[in-house]
Amino acid sequence: MTVTRTELAVHVEAAFTTGPATRDRILAHAAGSHARPEIIAVLQALPDKPYPTIRNLWYELGHVPIGS
C-alpha cells in the first residue's frame, strides 16, 4: 500500500501542536499513533532538522502523493 501525505498527516500532526518538531519528535508521534512500518520508513528518511509546520515536511516529501 502506498504512503500518502494524507496518511502521514494523520499520524504526525500532533507533533506540531507546541511549535517546531524535530525528526525524532515526528517519529515518536507516528509510532505512538501506531503508524504502519511504511510510514515510519518514509519519516526516517527525513533530514534531521526542525520543521516549523507540517507543511515544511512536504518540501522534503515531494515524492509522496497527496492522496490515494
Rounded Cα gap, residues 13 and 36, in angstroms = 16
Taking the alpha carbons of 44, 48, 52, 58 in that order, is the dihedral positive or negative? negative
pLDDT at position 8, please?
97
Report pLDDT for 1. 77
Reading the block at residue 19, the C-alpha cell is 511549535
Q: Residue 28 and residue 2: Cα distance in Å, rounded? A: 21
Mean pLDDT of 47-57: 96
Overall average pLDDT of the 16-43 stretch: 97
C-alpha 65, offset from chain centre: 13
51 three-class SS: strand
